[in-house]
Structure formats: C-alpha cells, structure tokens
Structure 1
Amino acid sequence: MTNLTDRIAQLRDQKSRSAVLGGPEKKSPPPPPAETSRKLPERRMASDSFMLFSYTLLGVAITCQFLLIVWLDLV
C-alpha cells in the first residue's frame, strides 16, 4: 500500500475505529424534554480587547484628522 488514498481507505475499513476518525460508537439517549425546554440565561458578551483597541485607534485617527484640518485652515 504505497498510495495514501489506499491507506486511508484501509484505515476506514478497519473495525476498531478511533474516536478521531469514526466518532463515538455509543450514542447517549436524548435528554428528557423537560431539560431541553428549560431556557438558559443569556450571558453578557465580554469586552473584546481587540475591538477596544480598534475603536480607540479609529477615534485617535478621526481626532488627528479633525485637528489637522482645523490647523491647516487657520494657518
């Protein structure tokens, strides 16, 4: 078996499957309807540091452009 495709097919055909390739063999029974109908409380979104940095950078850029326009208008 030198072909990679043949090797993969052979591994798939083996009866002892791993959890990575074949998934779990046993499936758990579905939860009772009472548990699924219960509404979970919504979580507030955490502040994202990248978004905070992006909006800060945008604010600085707009402020600098406004100050540059005002300074060029006065000079």
Structure 2
Amino acid sequence: MDCGIFQINSFWWCLDSETPVTKRNCGMSCGDFLDDDLTDDIKCAKSIVTLHPGMIAWVAWSSRCKGKDMDEFVAGCNL
C-alpha cells in the first residue's frame, strides 16, 4: 500500500497493521501520512531520498517517468 501525497510504501517505509515488519522504515505509522499535516510526510520522503538518491525508491517513477520529459508537469514551479 502506498500512503499519502508522496505515496510512501508500507512494505518499505512505514508501519501499518497489514505489514508489521518493514525492511527499512521512517519509524512512523502509515496513518501519519494520511492527515493534513505534511511535516512527517516530508521528513520521511527526505530520508528515503537520502538512502536512495533521486526518485529510484518509487517504483512508479522508475517504470513510468524515468528518462521521460517531465517539463509539462513542473511548468510554473520555478524549478
């Protein structure tokens, strides 16, 4: 299951009742990523990127976005 705005995977990163043991985790409950407070979501996403530079930890990114032109999705973001 992927949770929250950053689609943090429950098997690898957060703790839930369906996947009690994770390989690596942010030390947070998956439910923490389902509320309006993005502070914990950002903290976990940053730790994921630190362990796996870039977006490679997100399977959907690797299979659907990597190597493709993403300019239209970041237009106006001043990146």
Q: TM-score, normalised by structure 1?
A: 0.22
Higher relative helix content = 1
Greater RCO (Cα-Cα under 8 Å, separation 6 or more):
2
